[in-house]
Structure 1
Amino acid sequence: MNYTKKLSHIAQGLEPAPLVLKGAHVLDVGNEMWSIEDIAISDGYIIGVGKYEGLEEIDYTGKYIVPGFIDAHLHLESTLVNPRELVHEASREGTLTYIVDPHEAGNVAGLKGIQYMIDETRDARGDVYVMAPSCVPAVPGEDNGALLDCDTLSELCNNPAILGLGEVMDCYSVIGADADMIGKLNAYKNRVLDGHIIGLSPKQLASYRLAGITTNHECITYEEAKEQVRQGLYVWIREGSAAHNLEAIVTGIVDAESPVDRYGFCTDDKHIEDIRREGHISYNIRKAIELGLNPIETYKMASTYPAQCYGLKDIGMIAPGYKANLVILNDESNVSIYDVIYNGVIIDRHGAYESSRRPVPEELLYTINIGDFKKSQLSLAVDGEHPVINIVPGQIVTAKTIESVPSENGVFTPNSEFNKITCIERYKASGRNGVGVLKGFDIHNGAIATSFAHDSHNLIVVGDNDDDMMIAIERIRNIGGGYVIVRSGTVVGELPLEIMGLITNEPHHTVDKKVADMKEIAYDMGIRRGLDPFINLSFLALTVIPEIRITTKGVVEC
C-alpha cells in the first residue's frame, strides 16, 4: 500500500472510506481485548479502526472480527488436487495465509515441480508463501527424482516467490556441520529457516538452533514443545489428517499456564474432505479453546505470532496499514464463521470452485517408471525372529519390535496380522525395492498401493498376499501413479494422480468421493477406523521420523 493524501484524509475521518465494517467486537491483539469499533477499508487495506463513515457500510453489530488465520506449515500436494483448490476450501474456513513447503513436488521433479506449485498458487484465494525445500532427498542416498544441493538452493533463493528455507529434516547433517548443509543454511541466513525436530537431546537441539533454525512442527508432547520454546524456537502445533498433536500440547500449556507467544497452528497434511467436514485452522482454534485456552490468545496463535515469526508485517493484526484479511465470527469461542474477507472483499463461502485448467508440463505427467518388476522381488527371507514395523495409532511415528513372523521354508508368508510391505524405486527403473513386515495395518485378502510415499515418493505397497500386491503395482504403473486397492484379485478402487504421481486436475469433489469410497473399502478389508489407510501408508517410507521405516533398500531404523 502506498501512502497518499487521500488515505490520510480517510484515516482522519475527513473523507468517507470506500468500505466500512460497522459496530463489531474487534480484536485488539496489542492490548488483548475486544472493543466495539468500525473498520475503514480501502484498496484491500485497513485505513483506520474507530468511528468511520463509508461509501459502502456493512453492519456487523454483535459479531466478532479477528485477523485472518495462518497455516504456519503445510504441503499443498497432500490434498491430492490442484493446490488452488485447497486454498479455495480453506479460505471458506478463514485461513487466508499459507506457509507452504513444496518438497513433495521437489523430490519428484526438482525445480520444475516447485515452479509448478508456485505457478498454480499465484492467483489463489489466499496469500501463499513458499519455502524452498531444504532436504531433497530427505537424507543422503535415498532414491528420489531430484537433488537440490547447495548451489541449486542458492539459485532458488533468488526466486521472488521464495520466503525462506523449508523444514530442515536432516538434523544430523546440521549438528554434524555437513558442508553442503552449512552452505544451504548460509544461503538463507537472512530468511526464516523452518525446522523438523524429532528425538534430539537438549544439547543437540542447542546445536540445531545455533544454525539459525527458527521453527518446528513435529512436537508430540508439551514437554518437547516447552524445551524447544526454551531454546528459542517457535512451535507450530499440528493437527492434520494423520498427525494429531494438538490436545497433548494445548493441555500442557493450559495446565502449566504457559505463555503462548512462541506458538502457532499448522495442518502439515490435511485432505480436503477433512477440511470440509471439520474446518482448517478454524478447527485447531476451536479445539484449543474447548481445551481451556484463552480465546484471545488462541486467535493470536492463529495469526499474530506466526506473522511475526515470518516477518509478514502487514498481516496478523487489525490496525491501519494491515491487509484487510479478516474473519467475522458469530461469537467469541465457537469459531462459527459468518463472513470471510480477503483483500477487503467478502469471499463467496458457498460457491463452487471454478478455474480454467492450465496445461500441465508434459514432463510432470505419468512419471512412474519401475521397469519389469517381478513377483520374485516381493520375497522376504526370515530366520526366526524378525524386525517388525508397528503403526502407532494417531501418530506418524512407528515402533520397532522383534517378533516371530509366519514363514514357510524360510520365507515370510504374510497374513492379516503381519502384512507385507514393499517400497519400489519409481524413477529410473532400477529394479530396486525393499521388503519388510508391517503390523497394525491389518489388511485382509488384498493390497493397497500408492505413489504418494513421503518424501521420495517411490511406490509403496502393503498386502497380505503377493498376487494382489502385484496387481496393485501393475495398476499404479498404468494410471501414472495414485492410490489403488485390490481385493481378492480384482482392482476395487483407484484414484489416478497423474501429475508427478502426487496430484490430479480432477475437481476435489470427485477426488473426495473416490477417497471416501476407497477408505470404506479399506475398512471393510480389516483396516481399523481411526487409521487413514492412505496417509498413514504414505508416511511409512519417511526416514526422518522414528523409529523404523521401509525404503527401496530395505527396512531401516531411523
Structure 2
Amino acid sequence: MIKGNLVNVFTEEIYPAEIEVKNGIITCLREIKGEYSGYILPGFIDSHIHIESSMLTPSRFAEAVVPHGTTAVVADPHEIANVMGVEGIKYMMKDAATTPLQVFFTASSCVPATPFETSGAILGPDEIDTLMDDDQVVALGEMMNFPGVIGNDPVVLEKIKIAQKHRKPVDGHAPLLSGKDLCDYIGAGISTDHECTQLEEAHEKKGLGMKIMIREGSSAHNLEELISVGGEFLVSDDRDPEDLLNGHIDQILKKAVHLGMDPVDALRMVTLNPAEHYNLSCGGLKPGSPADMVLVDDLENFKVDKVWIKGKLVSQNGAPLFQVDPLLLKSTFRVKPKKASDFEVNSPHEEEKVRVIDVIEGQLLTSETEAVLRVVDGHLQADTEKDILKIAVVERYGHDNVSNAFIRGFLLKNGAIASSVAHDSHNIIVVGTNCQDMAEAVNILSKNNGGIVVVSDGDCYSLKLPIAGLMSTESAEDVSSQLSQLHKIVKDIGCELASPFMTMSFMALLVIPKLKISDQGLFDVENFQFVDVIK
C-alpha cells in the first residue's frame, strides 16, 4: 500500500490517495483523507530517445535515468542499426532487458539514413516486417528520408505500409518541411515530428494534425521557443552522460514549468500522451496497469525521492537499487592506417574560394558560408585566425573512403578532435587545424575500437567507446568524468561550444539542413546533392 498526494493525469486532479499493488500491478486506487508530503506521479516516459547518444549501454543508461524518475523510454536504435543492423538492435534489447527500466523500441526506418553515405548495414522492408512482429517494437522509427516519402520511393512507402499493417504509428523527422511537401509527407501516414525549431513551423505541422514532440536535449534546445505551441510530448532525443547525471525527464519538466507550462499538462506530455500514442501499458496510474510510480517533493522542481517499476522500489534518494553488468560486443572497425596526405584538399592555384559548413550553436541545423584560403605546396590551408578549420569523414566499414571539407564554429587554435559517433552512419568524423594531427587522432581512435580522441601539442587524450564505436560499458559517472576532461582540453585549445563532440557528430547528419559532410563528400541537404568544396 502506497499513500500520498496523487496527481491524476486522467482527470487532472490532485488529491490524497492510497494505491494497492499486487504482483507489480495496480489493483485499486482510492481517495483518502489526510495530509501527505510529496506527490505520487506516473513514471516518466521519454517518448523519443537514442540511447546510444548517451554513450552508455542500455543497462548503464537505465542505471543513470531511473533515479530521475524515468520508468520507460521509446528508443530508436538507428545509431547501432546503422553500424550492425538487426544484430545491433538485438544487442540493445538484450542488454536493456537486464534492468527494471521498460525500454520499448521503434524499428529504424532509415538504415542507411540516405544513399549518400556508407553505413555498416541495411534494413529493408523484410527486416522491418520481422522487427514489427516483436511486441517490444511499438512504431516505425523516425522517417528521416522525407524526400523519399514525398517522391513516392517504393521502398520507403513499403516500410510505412508495413507499420500500418501492424497497426503501429510512424514517427516523423521533417525539419523545416512546409506547404505541399509537408502535406504529402503527413498524408503518407506519418504522425509525429520532433525536429521543429521555430514556432511557425510547429504551428503549421500541428495544424495539419501532426503530434509535436518538443525537444530539449544536450545539443538541441527547442523548449523555450516552442512552449506555447501546445505540443503532445516532451522528449530529449539525444542526451550526453554529463547532462544525464543532472537529470533527464525530471529536468525537462522543471524547465517547462519554470517557463510557464502547467505542471499537470507537462506531466501528461511524459506519461499519458506517449502511452496512448504508442499503445503502452504504462503512463497512467489505474487498476490493471504496472505500478510504475515516482514520488517527488513538489510540482515545480520535480526532485525525485523514490521510483517504483512494476511495484518494486528501484531507486531511492537519487540512487538506483539495482546493479548492472553490460553485455559486450565484438569490434566493428575495419580502417586502414591514415596519413596526413589523406586529409589534404589539393589545388594548383595560390588561393581558392571554398564552401564552409557554418555551425549554429545549440542547433542541429547548419548554414553555409564561404572563405578564401591560401594554398601551400598545392594544398589548401586551414585559417585558424578566421576560424576556418578542416573537417573530414573517414569511412570505417572497410571501403576506405575519405572526404574533406572546411568548417567554421569550433575555434580550435591547434590540434584535432575525432569521434566515431557521427550520425547516422557513424563513420569517423574529425575536425582539425592540420592534417598530421587529424591523421593521428583517427589512427588512435581506430586502435581504441571507437570513441573520442583529442590530439593537442603532441599529447593524446581519449574516451573509449568499444560497443559499436558508440557506447561504453562504464558507468555514467566514469564516462562523464572522461568526457569532462576532454571538454576541458578542447576548451583550452579554443573551442567555445557547449557540446563540441555532440555538435561535431551532427555535422555528418545528411537529413538536417543545410550543409553537411559524409564519407562520400560535401552535401547540400536542401537540394539533396553533393557539392564541390572549391566554389
Which bin holds the TM-score, normalised by the shorter protein? over 0.9
User: Helix, strand or coil for the counterpart of 1:39?
Assistant: strand
- CA change 1:60–1:389 in 2 (3 A) is farther
| Preserved CA contact (<8 Å) 2:445 2:453 | yes
**Post-superposition shift, 1:336?**
2.0
1:520 aligns with 2:488: yes
TM-score (normalised: structure 1): 0.89
Q: In structure 1, how many angstroms separate the alpha carbons of the residues matched to 2:455 and 2:131?
A: 41
Q: Secondary structure at the match of 2:73?
A: strand
Q: Residue 528 of structure 2 corresponds to which residue in structure 1?
A: none
- Residue 396 of structure 1 and its aligned partner are, at CA, apart by 1.4
Shift in Å, 1:409: 5.3
> Cα deviations across residues 111-169 of structure 1 (Å, max 9, x unaligned)?
11111011111132211101011000001242110111122222222234322211110
Match of 1:194 among 162, 165, 171: 171
Residue aligned with 2:462, SS: strand
Of the structure 1 ranges 204-213 and 410-419, higher mean CA displacement relative to structure 2 is found in 410-419
**Number of the residue aligned with 1:371:** 336
How many angstroms apart in 1 are the aligned matches of 2:508 and 2:285? 43
Q: Are residues 1:448 and 2:429 paired?
A: no
For 1:100 and 1:60, locate their aligned partners in 2 and report how far apart those are by CA, in whole Å.
38
Q: 1:29 aligns with which of 9, 14, 20?
A: 9
1:298-318 CA distance string (max 9 Å, x none): 111121111111112x32222
Query: Which amino acid in the other structure matches residue 425 of structure 2?
Result: S
Q: What's the counterpart of residue 485 of structure 1?
A: 454
Distance (whole Å) between structure 1 residues aligned to residue 68 and residue 47 of structure 2: 15
Partner of 1:174: 149
1:206-225 alignment, distance < 5 Å = 206-225=183-202
1:385 corresponds to = 353
How far the C-alpha of 1:224 sits from its partner, in A, is 1.6
Q: Which residue of the other structure, out of 273, 293, 301, is the alignment partner of 1:334?
A: 301
What residue number does 2:388 align with? 418
| Equivalent position to 1:205, from 182, 189, 196 | 182
Q: Is the 8 A contact 1:44 1:344 kept in 2?
A: yes
Go from structure 1 to structure 2 and tell me whether the alpha carbon gap of 1:354 and 1:467 turns closer, same or farther (over 3 Å shift). farther
* 2:287 counterpart residue number: 320
Gaps of 5+ in 2: 526-535
Q: Alpha carbon RMSD of aligned pairs, Å?
A: 1.9
Deviation readout 1:216-253 (Å, 9 max, x if unpaired): 11111222222111111111111111111111111x33
Q: Deviations over 1:396-427 (max 9, x none)?
A: 11110122234335532113211100001110
* Residue number in structure 2 paired with 1:243: 220
How far did residue 356 of structure 1 move? 5.7
Q: Does 1:346 align with 2:313?
A: yes
Q: Secondary structure at the match of 1:340?
A: strand
Displacement after TM superposition at 1:543 (Å): 0.1
Please tell me whether residue 86 in structure 1 is matched to residue 61 in structure 2. yes
C-alpha distance in structure 2 between counterparts of 1:60 and 1:484, whole Å: 54
1:542 and 1:129 map into 2 onto residues whose CA distance is 24
How much does 1:358 deviate? 5.4
**1:372–1:431 CA contact under 8 A, matched in 2:** no
1:367 Cα offset (Å): 2.0
Q: Residue 60 of structure 2 contacts residue 474 of structure 2 at CA under 8 Å; is this kept in 1?
A: no
Matched residue SS, 1:320:
coil
* Structure 1: unaligned runs, 5 residues or longer: 1-19, 54-58, 254-259
Q: Is contact 2:250–2:302 with CA below 8 Å preserved after alignment?
A: yes
What's the offset of the Cα at 1:331?
1.6
Greater shift, 27-36 or 439-448, is seen at 27-36
Shift in CA distance, 343/356, structure 1 to aligned 2, threshold 3 Å = closer
- The Cα of 1:352 is off from its aligned counterpart by 5.9
Contact 1:21 1:60 in 2 (8 A): no
Residue 468 of structure 1 corresponds to: 437
Aligned to 2:105: 130
What percent of counterpart residues are identical?
Answer: 34
Instruction: Quote the residue 1:17 is aligned against.
Output: none
Q: 1:534 and 2:504 equivalent? A: no
Moved more, 226-235 or 446-455: 226-235
The farther-off stretch of 220-229 and 43-52 is: 43-52
Give the whole-Å Cα distance in 1 for the aligned partners of 2:485 and 2:233: 34
Contact 2:326 2:473 in 1 (8 A): no
Q: Aligned pair count?
A: 517
- What letter corresponds to residue 343 of structure 1 in structure 2? K
Cα distance in 1 for partners of 2:462, 2:365 equals 27
8 Å CA contact 2:163, 2:169 repeated in 1: yes
Q: Which 10-residue stretch deviates more, 498-507 or 102-111?
A: 498-507
Give the superposition deviation at 1:353: 7.6
* Local SS of the residue matching 1:305: helix
Report the equivalent of 1:547: 514
Query: Which position in structure 2 is the counterpart of 1:267?
Result: 236
Shift of 1:98: 0.3
Residue 19 of structure 2 aligns to a residue in which SS? strand
Q: Is the 8 A contact 1:139 1:543 kept in 2?
A: yes
Distance 1:268 1:179 in 2: 28
CA contact (8 A) 1:467 1:489 kept: no
Residue deviations 1:169-228, cap 9 Å, x none? 000101111011111111111211111111212221111111111111111122222211
Q: Equivalents in 2 of 1:375, 1:327: separation in Å?
A: 54
Residue in 2 aligned with 1:257? none
1:115 aligns with 2:98: no
